[in-house]
Structure 1
Amino acid sequence: MTQALPPAPSSPPPTPPAPSYFPSGPPQPARPRRAGFAALVLTGALLVGGGAGIGGAAFYDAVDGDTNGSGGSSSAPLQVADNGDKPAATGSVESVATKVLPSVVALDVSGGGASGSGSGVVLDADGTILTNDHVVTLGGQIDAKQAEVTASFSDGTRTRATVVGVDPLTDTALVKVEKTDNLTPVTIGKSDNLDVGEQVVAIGSPFGLDATVTSGIVSALNRPVEVARDQQGNVTAYPAIQTDAAINPGNSGGPLVNMDGQLVGINASIRSTGSGSGAGAESGSIGLGFAIPIDEVLPIIEQLRSGETPTHARLGIQVRDVTGTAGSSDTTLAGARIAELEKGSAAAGAGLESGDVITAIDDHRIDDTEALIATVRAYRPGETVKVTYLRGSKQDSTELKLGSD
């Protein structure tokens, strides 16, 4: 089950059906909750430390006894070293965190009786913050226009923010902060330059723990991920960057950066085992996190910044998954079968027909409808693509210019 990362709730909500966004619970002050957590951890540490000390002393007495009659005391000095606080090495996780943390914000969102939190990243000196649509809509619980947003920076600064625009189909959104003093915009990199095995860093506010840094590698590229589908059949899907950097609820909208500290993706969803226990339990990181490649949504971001309605490429077809055999062969088929073509659509103009099975777009293999939607979503209207398809047992291809919604 792939789920979009939800706003981190303040109290356990009912477990939603999959796939869905996690709902949010009633608001609670972040600082007292964090202080309580720290106190709880400290208490546990004291209990464990005391127990270990007693156990260690008892073990020593049983083995060696009291040989010096002084109760086991020792005058031997402890070996303590102080190497100083060395500068972060270039290309290290520490250097990346130092560079990017000032650009990352925690977003607290409320509206319509619901609340939650997520993450974002500063795009420009005017105070534009990039995040996920499901962060500002609380997983679809409210309209983005209802959202009351507060942005918190790593230096402790807090300011109000307003939603500039959203694009549910790519799960992207922009908010703008009211206070724009001393902002540190992130440097935008190229997600197309990523390679499998390359090290990356994720930063955000998992479960409300602000300015959390995790690291890992790129586990896979162009992984088709569908996280939502509305009642009209519109699908939120993208060709994701898969990473094993720990990503949890509340990381949504935060940056995935390369080791040069450049933004390459927007952390957006995780694979869930669905094995959480207890009412309203949320699944955490199992090393399968997904980020939206920045290259794919940069045109959408620019449209939102300009106040335009985002546009998306489309083939103009209705599709369904397909499995079976081709003719009399034993070859198992995988692809997206055309169930219906819209009149005058790009697909119809290129000669595709109902019943054709699309197996590739350019060099991208299409195994199912999810892969087709995610792949087409990565292109822009007006771009020309090569479509490979099966008609019966015969493979063919055609080129077409993608339409626009």
Structure 2
Amino acid sequence: MSKPFSILSCLLVLGILLTASPGQAQQLNIAEQEAIQAAVDRVAASVVQIETVGGLIEGGGPIEGASRTTGTIVSPDGFILSSLYGFIQEPSGILVTMPGGKRVAGKIIAKDTQRNLILLKVETDAELAVPEAVARAELQPGQWAIALGKTFAKDLPSVSVGIVSATHRVWGKAVQTDAKISPNNYGGPLIDIQGRVIGILTPLSPQDPGATGGFEWYDSGIGFAVPLTDIQQRLDTLKEGEDLKPGLLGINLKGNDIVADPAEIAAVRYNSPAQVAGIQEKDVLIGANGRPIVRQAQLKHILGEAYAGDTLEFKVKRGEEELTFSITLADELIPYERPFLGILLDRNILDAAVVNHVFDDTAAKTSGVQAGDKIVKYDDTEVDSPQTLREAVATAEPDVPHKLVVLRGEDKTTLEVTPTSMPNEFLAAVAAPTAPEGVEAREGVVTGESDFQLAEEKNSAKLFVPEAAKKLPSLGLVVLLGDAEFKIEPQWDAWKKQAETFGYALLEIQPASESRWTRPEISVVRKMIDRVRDNYNIDVTRTVTVGGKSGGAMALLHGFENRDVQTGAVAIEAGIPRGTNIPDNEPLERLEIVFLIPKDSETTVTLKPQIETLEKMKFTVIRSEATGSKLSETDIEAVSNWLNTLDRI
């Protein structure tokens, strides 16, 4: 067979099966099985079992015993590719069972964190079998795809048969298959009916680029393989011990619809490749390396295939002019630190930035900003709404003075203000939100407590909306994530009391298992938040997730992946799950993190390096001592006061 099966070929075979006699159908089934077995036999000698010994478990403790994964030989002198998923515990030892049954030590040479792969090396005198790769250009949706793994068997590989579902998924990084993909075959090859390697199996996700992103789809008929021909182009770099990392441009785009919105620049990170090259806010990216960019998704495809160190030629539209920029992507950006003026704006005024409160000992206070001032300009940006000011401050050059023009009565005053860093502690309480004078209660606003479970989900949930919702222009939102160890019910009344005082809605969600949260349930939490937002005017700058134990881990995970709908996350006696990709702190995607840690809690030690990492990345992190593993009324009031200042600028 010189070419892989096409969809038409498969349909012809199906037609033959439907019209064939029982004997002919049986012969065709036997022929199919023989073809699959022949393909497996052709590549089996290139598939190995890998045992990882030791390492760290969730929270930082040592692992006892060994775990297994699969590898694929890619070089006759002992280089083996596997999935990064099998190594997130940072093993202290690696053993590889070679095709002849001999176990030899392996060592990590380099990682590809763009595509979640890892390169190992074993020392052997034997010349190892290297499989043939099939070019992605030859692949067609509908052709056979066979997934192999040796995670649970040293001799014969496990086999899962399916088809190629798509050839350019996860922003161009992967081929998609409906064969059952799981830790059983991560690191193994996905092959065609001729026994040629399509790619290396690994979990991937367009939303979560971490080593565990996409794991939630295991055995679901949604699996991915990184094309081997793509990896071969970079294999020499990996062999030299150089990690391959995502290529970073250093921009934020305007809008939230990546399928429909153009790639218009909303913010450019300071000292990033984009800024150094001359890219500016309001520029529109219209092409890169000869490929058109009409929608944001097309830009994500181009960057998804690129690595740090790659140089891309970008075409940019600036007004009526088209410009070309040659930009070398970076492997990291200077951490972004959010500037802090020290003000709260009037939430009842939506078409202007009117100061409601000025915090003591802040840049705004020092510069003479007063409550009641109407801010009309920040440097060269005309301010016509709270959001305009928020973005102007967030994207301005750091560590230098800025001009602030305010209207104070009939007088226009220019002030000079040098923002400081966001405070890493709870601020003094400010007045609770109140509705404008004379505003009548809106009809049709449903308040009080109600069941909120979604018909399509197993997670139980309930919603509480305060009476203030009938008059306030917007509400905050607190999403409570309980589990078997951190129960919400004993705290519920205290939360409701604070919700009435501070004007926020309460959404309590329980894990589907009723015991612990799992990573795939991130999408359930997001879906429920969206449903609340569909029915009420929720202020994203005062939306937070709060949880303890596994619920605390979920609060953090959801925050990292959904900064477009929340601004804060509170974890009680919980940390960041191992393998989590922590995104960069971004000018237009804010996330403030609170760790509430009971005195003498065992998590104190394990949280320390996580907090240090977040602080190094310039996230605003608040550490506070909780009265116990169950929140007291004092703790709940402190979190509510923090929420009431979370929209500060």
TM-score category of the 2 structures, normalised to the smaller one = 0.5 to 0.7
* 1:259-338 alignment, distance < 5 Å: 259-269=193-203, 284-310=218-244, 313-314=247-248, 316-320=249-253, 322-323=255-256, 332-333=260-261, 335=263, 337-338=265-266
**Residue matched to 1:186:** 131
Between Structure 1 and Structure 2, whose CA radius of gyration is higher? 2
Contact 2:268 2:274 survives alignment (8 Å): no
Residue 357 and residue 91 in structure 1: after superposition, are their counterparts in 2 closer, same or farther (change >3 A)?
farther
* 1:89-168 alignment, distance < 5 Å: 92-112=35-55, 113-114=62-63, 115-135=66-86, 137-138=87-88, 141-142=89-90, 146-153=91-98, 155-168=100-113
Distance between the aligned counterparts of 1:365 and 1:214, measured in 2? 37
Distance between the aligned counterparts of 2:168 and 2:275, measured in 1? 23
Distance between the aligned counterparts of 2:68 and 2:223, measured in 1? 18
Which structure's residues are more often strand, by fraction? 1
Distance between the aligned counterparts of 2:39 and 2:291, measured in 1? 33
Match status 1:401 vs 2:401:
no
Residue 186 and residue 360 in structure 1: after superposition, are their counterparts in 2 closer, same or farther (change >3 A)?
same
TM-score, length of structure 1 as denominator length: 0.58
RMSD: 4.1
**Residue matched to 1:197:** 142
**Residue matched to 1:378:** 305
Letter of the 1:375 partner, please give it. Answer: I
Specify the SS of the correspondent of 2:198. strand
Residue 340 and residue 168 in structure 1: after superposition, are their counterparts in 2 closer, same or farther (change >3 A)?
same
1:323-354 per-residue CA deviation (whole Å, 9 max, x = no partner) reads 379xxxxx9526574421555835763x6422
Residue 332 and residue 320 in structure 1: after superposition, are their counterparts in 2 closer, same or farther (change >3 A)?
closer
Greater relative contact order structure (CA < 8 Å, 6+ sep): 1
Letter of the 1:345 partner, please give it. Answer: P
Residue 382 and residue 178 in structure 1: after superposition, are their counterparts in 2 closer, same or farther (change >3 A)?
closer
Contact 2:268 2:275 survives alignment (8 Å): no
Specify the SS of the correspondent of 1:269. coil
Residue 151 and residue 200 in structure 1: after superposition, are their counterparts in 2 closer, same or farther (change >3 A)?
same
User: Unpaired segments of 5 or more residues in structure 2?
Assistant: 1-25, 56-61, 207-214, 331-649
Compute the displacement of 1:398 (Å).
5.1
Contact 1:108 1:149 survives alignment (8 Å): yes
Which shifted more, 211-220 or 371-380?
A: 371-380
Compute the displacement of 1:184 (Å).
1.3
Contact 1:338 1:358 survives alignment (8 Å): no
Residue 269 and residue 263 in structure 1: after superposition, are their counterparts in 2 closer, same or farther (change >3 A)?
same
Distance between the aligned counterparts of 1:151 and 1:215, measured in 2? 25
**Residue matched to 1:45:** none
Compute the displacement of 1:179 (Å).
3.4
Contact 2:190 2:201 survives alignment (8 Å): yes
**Residue matched to 2:267:** 339
Distance between the aligned counterparts of 1:397 and 1:94, measured in 2? 56
Contact 1:107 1:151 survives alignment (8 Å): yes
Compute the displacement of 1:296 (Å).
3.2
Contact 2:50 2:68 survives alignment (8 Å): yes
Residue 105 and residue 399 in structure 1: after superposition, are their counterparts in 2 closer, same or farther (change >3 A)?
farther
Distance between the aligned counterparts of 2:216 and 2:246, measured in 1? 32
Distance between the aligned counterparts of 2:271 and 2:204, measured in 1? 38
TM-score, length of structure 2 as denominator length: 0.38
Specify the SS of the correspondent of 2:181. coil
Distance between the aligned counterparts of 1:152 and 1:336, measured in 2? 51
Residue 155 and residue 245 in structure 1: after superposition, are their counterparts in 2 closer, same or farther (change >3 A)?
farther
1:263-302 per-residue CA deviation (whole Å, 9 max, x = no partner) reads 2311111679xxxxxxxx9763111111112333333321
Distance between the aligned counterparts of 2:161 and 2:324, measured in 1? 41
Contact 1:152 1:158 survives alignment (8 Å): yes
**Residue matched to 1:354:** 281
**Residue matched to 1:240:** 174
Specify the SS of the correspondent of 2:235. helix
